[in-house]
Amino acid sequence: MAKAQERPKLGFRGTLKQIWMAFTLTAKRDKVFLPLVIVAVAIAIGASLLLSLWISWFAIPFGIMLVLLAILIVLNLRVNKVFLAEMENQPGAAAAIIERMRGDYRVTPAFSSTTDMNFVHLVICRAGVVLIGEGDPNRVRNLINQERRRLTKVIGSADLRDFIIGNEEGQVPLRKLRMTLLRLPRTLSSRDVAALDRRLKALSARPQLPKGAIPKNMRPPKGAFKAMRGGPR
């Protein structure tokens, strides 16, 4: 259970390549995207022409920056919708969205799960501990209740909340998950989040036995297992 991995830093070329990939993907998936880009560029050019009536020398660089800004704003708005549409009904979509959020969100995907694709993701953040359920609402609710009983014994005074992803009453649609988390009151400091993360990580750690036969020098004395079961010595 660790904080989501830090995104690798991109250079100038890497950033341009990433923007271009997002642009082409959004243009393919979103029919409204290109018309909106054209409208935004037209407005930016019109504003630049009006500015040129007062400050002609500044109109060209200002216009270029304004056009680029308009394209990026439209791209940012529409690429999020494309991403959510692509993630809809995909297992683990909620965890993937939270991992992309800015801020101190420490996500453990599939903290609890079943074999039939029901998941409960654990999130530790400034708002406390949040359990996010995906899958069949009834089975997910049972998983959440089990984890709530277990976690309330170890998280101290930290707030504990849970949400189930879905479009029914009382559920949180996937497209609203990010805003739902951002609106939660921040009751923990960054140090509290780190301390809580370490505590839960230590509790969830399980010592692993080595594979294969137990070495002779580590084997218990003969008859020890019978004595532990209360058998005749």
Strands of 106-113's sheet in order across: 106-113, 119-125, 128-134, 160-164
Residue 7, token pair as written in the block: 């995104």
* One domain for residues 24 and 115: no
The sign of the dihedral angle between the CA atoms of 97, 150, 161, 189 is negative
Instruction: Identify the pLDDT of residue 214.
Output: 41
Residue 229: pLDDT band (50, 70, 90) is very low
Residue 212: pLDDT band (50, 70, 90) is very low
**Is the pLDDT at 148 greater than 90, yes or no?**
yes
Residue 140: pLDDT band (50, 70, 90) is very high
**Is the pLDDT at 33 greater than 90, yes or no?**
no
Q: Which of 82, 110, 83, 114 is nearest to 95 (CA)?
A: 110
Domain membership of residue 122 (yes or no) is yes
Number of folded domains in the chain? Answer: 2
Domain membership of residue 65 (yes or no) is yes
Final residue of a domain: which of 52, 87, 122?
Answer: 87
Q: What is the pTM of this model?
A: 0.63
d(CA 82, CA 96): 14
Determine the structural domain holding residue 52 and report its residue range.
12-87
37: Cβ contacts below 8 Å, ≥ 6 apart: 70, 71, 74, 75
pLDDT, mean of residues 77-101:
79
